[in-house]
Amino acid sequence: MFTSRADVALAIVSGALFVLSFPKFGHPAFGWIALTPLLVALTGATLRRAFLLGLTTGIIYFTGTLYWITGVMAMYGGLQTWVAVLINAGLIAYLALFPALFALITRRIVMAYGRSVLMAAPVVWVATELGRAYITSFPWELLGYSQVTVLPIAQLASLFGVYGVSMLLAAVSAALAFAATARRWAPLVAVLAVVLAVAVWGSRRVAAGEWTRAGEPIRIGMIQGNVDQGQKWDVTRASAIFQDYVNLTQQAIREGSQLVLWPESSTPFLFEENLPAANVVRTLAEQARVPIVFGSDQIERGRPDRYFNSAFLVRADGTTGGVYRKMHLVPFGEYVPFQRLLFFAAPLTEQAGTFSPGLNPELLPVDGHRLSVAICYEVVYPDLVRQFVAGGSELLTTITNDAWFGRTSAPMQHFQQAAMRAIENGRYLVRSANTGISGIVDPYGRVLAQTPIFESAVLVGEARFLRTSTFFSRHGDVLAYASVVATLALLVVASRRVK
């Protein structure tokens, strides 16, 4: 049994390993051992201490991966720095409750069943990750995302989604912890055999690249306007910003684009309210016979008016072909949850207003095909993107404005999480970001092209409309939901078991 200080040190190491598993400071290798120190620390801990150890790991985990939120709120949200720090600390503490719950449940079932049940820890981990996604609506940097660039392993997401990859990594950590505390190696050998099998299968899947030759190709131009967030809604800059987008679009068309994609909220005006500027976009599409998809805020007049963060499609004939309204809004960015209670955070949404969520996963028609648009952080929701594909989306697009994040880890984190959606659903993913990263990802997670951040750019590349499907796109997060059921069953039996 470890001393109290050693337990805490191990929990801290686990938190640090989680941080080091993600960009821009880390390496995917750390993800395989991130849970091991915490699981070792749980040996002999009381339930209360297990909870606190998990909380310690979680606080470091989320502080290191979400540190950038403080700067966003202070610089662009109109909050004093100390208020921004407090709000971000509250969010981090809230998210840390889920690793704490994982540690509590794991310790409880080990007390009931014995140390061998430590190998059930991956099931519990995935159950708490799913809980975090649904309860907090902030599923940022799940453990499985650490392997997006490790393509042979990431292919597991085509079967079981990002949660399946999380489970595989947690299984290695659990087997290492079991070997370290019980001096029994058989589970570790078995888990490593599974990892090897997944890696071999995944390597062959990527090498075969069957879906890169299927479907119908289309050349897409991604426009990266690189508009400073401080100037985005400056009325004196609106005309110049808009003209830059027009010029970049003309360049993309000259380079052979058959579809042009602008970023989130790219028009420095409301598309449906500013008819002269809107007509410029319509004329541009009509003259070139090229459809344009772009982000623009939308107002639904009423009492009161309702605002939506939307994506518009202007067809090749200049008419509006469809509108998608963002369904998952950013808390403290597009609305303030519990606004009456958190009155001090109201400046975060005062300038842009409080947005309303869209209700339907609308698809946009392009040349006899249908594509989906995930706006900004919506792309981190596996089930939403799967709904698009289940509804008939043949191409995943995502538009975003990551100017808020500056040169922090967030733009890289965001891009990698978007890439996971391509693997899960067997679709090309095309991303247009105001300040980058814009890029194209194939159905196996290979980044075919991408832009640097904070540069004005036009990126033209080939994607494909696909109608194939993966096990995940057909069945969703069955493994994650099964993990919740299994965790609850273990707890129920453990509560009746006298040890």
Query: What's the CA dihedral at 271, 276, 279, 283 to 10 degrees?
Result: -140
User: Do the beta carbons of residue 431 and residue 415 sit within 8 Å?
Assistant: yes
Catalytic residue among 129, 376, 378, 394: 376
Query: What's the CA dihedral at 291, 398, 71, 149 to 10 degrees?
Result: -130
For the chain, the structural domain boundaries read: 4-207+477-496, 215-467
Pairing relationship of beta strands 306-314 and 447-450 according to DSSP bridges:
unpaired
- Continuous segment of H or E residues that includes residue 260: strand 259-261
User: Residue 481: CB partners within 8 Å, gap ≥ 6?
Assistant: 130
The Cα diameter of the chain in Å comes to 77
Tokens of 180: 């370290």
Catalytic residue among 264, 334, 362, 424: 264
Tokens of 325: 């309204």
User: Do the beta carbons of residue 51 and residue 8 sit within 8 Å?
Assistant: no
User: Do the beta carbons of residue 425 and residue 472 sit within 8 Å?
Assistant: yes
CA distance 194 to 159: 15
The pLDDT value given to residue 444: 98
Which residue's entry shows tokens 């794991």? 106
Is the domain 215-467 a CATH 1.20.1260.10 member? no
Q: Burial of 471 by CB count in 10 Å (0-12 exposed, 13-18 middle, 19+ buried)? A: middle
Q: Report whether the peptide linkage leading into residue 268 is cis, meaning its omega lies within 30 degrees of zero.
A: no
Which residue's entry shows tokens 């990750």? 129
**Annotation marks residue 141 as catalytic:** no
Tokens of 226: 């690189």
Model pTM greater than 0.85? yes
Phi, psi of 309 (to 5 degrees): -90, 110
User: Do the beta carbons of residue 118 and residue 50 sit within 8 Å?
Assistant: no
Closest CA relative to residue 7, chosen from 89, 142, 96, 103? 103
- The packing angle between helices 81-113 and 47-66, to 10°, is 140
Which residue's entry shows tokens 């068309």? 253
CA distance 205 to 197: 12
Phi, psi of 168 (to 5 degrees): -65, -45
Alpha helices in 378-477 (DSSP H): 382-390, 410-425, 471-475
Tokens of 117: 């049940």
Instruction: Report, in this order, helix, strand and coil percent for the chain, each rounded to 5.
Output: 55, 15, 30
The pLDDT value given to residue 229: 75
Query: Strand locations in 7-47, DSSP E?
Result: none
Which residue's entry shows tokens 């599409």? 285
Catalytic residue among 129, 141, 232, 326: 326
Rg over alpha carbons for the chain, rounded to the nearest Å, is: 23
**Annotation marks residue 24 as catalytic:** no
The pLDDT value given to residue 351: 46
**Local confidence pLDDT in tens for the 499 residues of the chain:** 455 789 999 999 999 999 999 998 899 999 999 999 999 999 989 999 999 999 999 999 999 999 999 988 887 777 888 989 999 999 999 999 999 999 999 999 999 999 999 999 999 999 999 999 999 888 999 999 999 999 999 999 999 999 999 999 999 999 999 999 999 999 999 999 999 999 999 999 999 999 999 999 999 999 999 998 777 767 778 899 999 999 999 999 999 999 999 999 898 889 999 999 999 999 999 999 999 999 999 998 888 889 999 999 999 999 999 999 999 887 666 666 555 555 555 555 554 457 889 999 999 999 999 999 999 999 999 999 999 999 999 999 999 999 889 899 999 999 999 999 999 999 999 999 999 999 999 999 999 999 999 999 999 999 999 999 999 999 999 999 999 999 999 999 888 765 4
